[in-house]
Amino acid sequence: MGIEKFARVFAGLGTLRRGSAGRRRRMRGAGDGACRVGGFGQGAAMRSTVRGLLAALHLAPALLGGAKDGRLDIYWIDSQGGGSTLIVTPAGESVLIDCGNPGGRDAARIHKVATTVAGLARVDHLVTTHLHVDHYGGAPELAAMIPIGVLHDNGVPAEDPDGNHDPTWPQRIKAYREMKVDSREVVQPGDRLALRPGKDTQPKLTVRFVAARRQFGLRTSGVANIAACQDPNPRPKDTSDNANSVVTLVEFGGFRFFDGGDVTWNVEAGLVCPVTQVGPVDVFQVNHHGMDASNNPMLLRSLAPRVAVFNNGPTKGCAPAVAAALRALPEPPAIYQVHRNKNAPDANTDAGRIANADPEGGRHLMLTVSPDAQRYTVAVPATGHRFTYLVRPHP
């Protein structure tokens, strides 16, 4: 390894410029299983120059990638309890799921991560899961900062999708309806994003819309799961647009990531019965920021995630009942949070797995899947936490 690269690794830079394209090289995991990979500057290994050099040399191959390194990255960007999840494919294509709130703060945070961390010059696909302001509100502002390719959503209705007959709805949605994008597509359950293909030797990558507008991609004919179809605690019908959320499944080789937007309790039951729409996943973005109007235990048991990520705010989401339900699973997942829950401290995960301990926030979480899709590393840059997990076999 060259002296310049070595010096930069030793300085603890988790992301490096990625070749002539100028993209940031993404933080890499190391290890052969669910092994701890400590951040630079922590622990006894960094208390002396010699030990620090050895640690940097050991981790350098994992941190340094090429311009075509074949990895999949996911970033959870802090929008204070809004939605903003950025996915960068092995081919360098980007998929942003939701855009946070209006007002400039969230769009600026998304733009910063996209350009200075992920090294993007455009957002190729924007998926708006539903038309609540904490998910679509920042989109017009982001579109003024960075080009956006295809916008995927449920379509823009003439009236408030919550059914409130709000006369202010046309004005509230005007900027989103008129923002500049290359094209717009209405999501259909079962559709897949048209992504640029990777190398023939790379694992297959798909981004599939499992559900949208309370409809599901897989039909009941031919596949049934009737035995598990009695929800012991059904809820009253949710007439809000949360229930219409676009549900997305990302698969890279054997790695599986679930993002359900703000889908709610009864629709979650439909993801399990009478047809299992998803099945076990590696990583679960906890539905609805972790609110207990969502996260039906039927779905949690079906997904059985190894890692669960709350895209919550300091006073929004990460509800104690949801955290308890995840911890009660037969194999409890490792839990990560975008924010510390101020209102329910006992619901919080370990401090090292929380990106923002202070309410102001602004820091992100990151996940990187290895080129062979055999392992993935979750990193909390603010705390130095890194942990690598094996992708587990799925049926």
- 148 contacts 142 by C-beta, under 8 angstroms: yes
Q: What pLDDT shows up at residue 223?
A: 55
pLDDT band at 225 (very low <50, low <70, confident <90, very high): low
pLDDT band at 58 (very low <50, low <70, confident <90, very high): very low
Mean pLDDT of the chain: 85
Considering the domain 72-376, what is its CATH architecture?
Answer: 4-Layer Sandwich (3.60)
Q: What pLDDT shows up at residue 340?
A: 97
Helices marked H in the chain: 3-10, 49-63, 105-112, 133-136, 139-143, 169-178, 265-270, 297-303, 320-327
Task: Summarize the confidence of residues 181-203 as an average pLDDT.
Answer: 92
Domain boundaries, the chain: 3-63, 72-376
Residue 240, token pair as written in the block: 């809000």
Measured distance between the N- and C-terminal CA atoms of the chain, rounded to whole angstroms: 41
State pLDDT tens for residues 198-219. 777 889 999 999 999 999 998 7
Q: Which residues pair with 207 in a beta bridge?
A: 250
Q: Which residues pair with 368 in a beta bridge?
A: 73, 377
Task: Summarize the confidence of residues 323-330 as an average pLDDT.
Answer: 97
State pLDDT tens for residues 107-162. 999 999 999 999 999 999 999 999 999 999 999 999 999 999 999 999 999 999 99
Cβ neighbours of residue 25 closer than 8 Å, sequence gap 6 or more: 15, 16, 17, 18, 63, 64, 65, 69
